[in-house]
Amino acid sequence: MHQYLSSPSSETYGGVSFVIDRDIDDAPVAGANGAKSYSSWTLTLVDYPDSPPNTAVYGINSGYMHQLDGSGNPISPILTGMYCVQCNASSIDVGFYWDSGSFVSLNTYVNGMAKPFGVNNLRQIVGHYYPYPGVAGPCPGFLFDASTGTVSQLDAPNAAPDNFESTTLPYGINDASQIVGSWVDASNNGHGFIYDNGTWTSADHSGTKGTVLVGVNGIGQIAGYYYTSQGTHGFIYSRVDGWTNVDCAGQSSTMLTGINNNGQAVGSCGTTAFMYDTVHGTMVQIPELAGVSQPWGISDSNVAAGFCGGGPVCSEGMNGFYATPNP
């Protein structure tokens, strides 16, 4: 049961006043016996105006298509990603958030080449950055508040220092400002982390060479992937239910990269993009993203966001996109 409000609201009924907030609660749903499936998606490309296109989208806010304007139309999604202009060996990568059809650079806020991933409905954005060419670090992860323009550093306690690339890598953030990601130790091993109100908690899948936590929803479910000598494996993790492995049949590489508040995740295996339902354990391919593509985020209306560089729609360079399921 979801409450979608732009801010807490005071309501009065029958002389009784109370405040409705953004929280998410469990509630019974009538007739919840099947999994909703879609046969097709409509792609909207999001590319910085340069040629050839070289834009990657990584995040989308969960409330997209629930948040409506005064005419009842969906408010434009908030997307995060990267682009480069006249891309070559000496070009500068630009991290951005895309809001109401406009690209806003994050590089000036972090004083480096930003790589933003997760974004929530409060316009909080997490990611990491790299120094400009010829400039030494350190390069922490960051939390950026687009409403205020403020930046906070995120440094996992045991992450190894590095002057040229980030070793604290935040990837996902929910509306409770809980952040997930990975950090790298001095032996170059990756570890998952959960950051909640100043507290860092490790979350490592057992027997792995590296754990990456990518997306987190409002009920604490986390999507990600881990490495073994046999390949890459997707998972859903929560502190309540533990680890649930998700692997595509016959594939050595499966990645889960985003999850919404309904427990539906997106990911890829090989050249196949898919949506995975954690309640029913079902996997649905997204045929429009056939080719070299990677969805990275998913809203509560199952709108997937990511980037692609092949197939019938994304045929030139690298294209950012968001894909809306058709009824």
Report pLDDT digits (tens) over 97-116: 999 889 999 999 999 999 99
Residue type, 117: F
Report pLDDT digits (tens) over 38-52: 678 888 999 998 777
pLDDT at 293 over 90: no
ω into 157 cis (within 30 of 0): no
Report pLDDT digits (tens) over 135-165: 877 788 999 999 999 999 999 998 988 777 8
The region, left, alpha or beta by phi > 0 then psi within -120 to 50, assigned to residue 25 is beta
User: Across residues 294-311, what is the average pLDDT?
Assistant: 90
Residue 109 is given by DSSP the state: H
> pTM of the predicted model, to two decimals?
0.85
User: Across residues 312-319, what is the average pLDDT?
Assistant: 77
pLDDT at 312 over 90: no
For 128, other C-beta atoms within 10 Å of its C-beta total 25
Report pLDDT digits (tens) over 172-213: 999 999 999 999 998 888 999 999 999 999 999 987 779 999
Let me know: does 145 contact 194? Beta carbons within 8 Å. Answer: no
More reliable by pLDDT, 313 or 326? 326
HSE of 45 in the Cβ direction (CA atoms, 13 Å)?
20
pLDDT at 252 over 80: yes
HSE of 53 in the Cβ direction (CA atoms, 13 Å)?
21
User: Across residues 308-319, what is the average pLDDT?
Assistant: 77
Cα of first residue to Cα of last residue in the chain, in angstroms, is 21
pLDDT at 5 over 60: no
Helices (H), ranges, 60-163? 107-110
Let me know: does 191 contact 199? Beta carbons within 8 Å. Answer: no
pLDDT on residue 36:
56
pLDDT at 310 over 90: no
Let me know: does 118 contact 179? Beta carbons within 8 Å. Answer: yes
User: Starting from the edge strand earliest in sequence, which strands make up the sheet with 124-130, in order?
Assistant: 113-119, 124-130, 141-145, 150-154
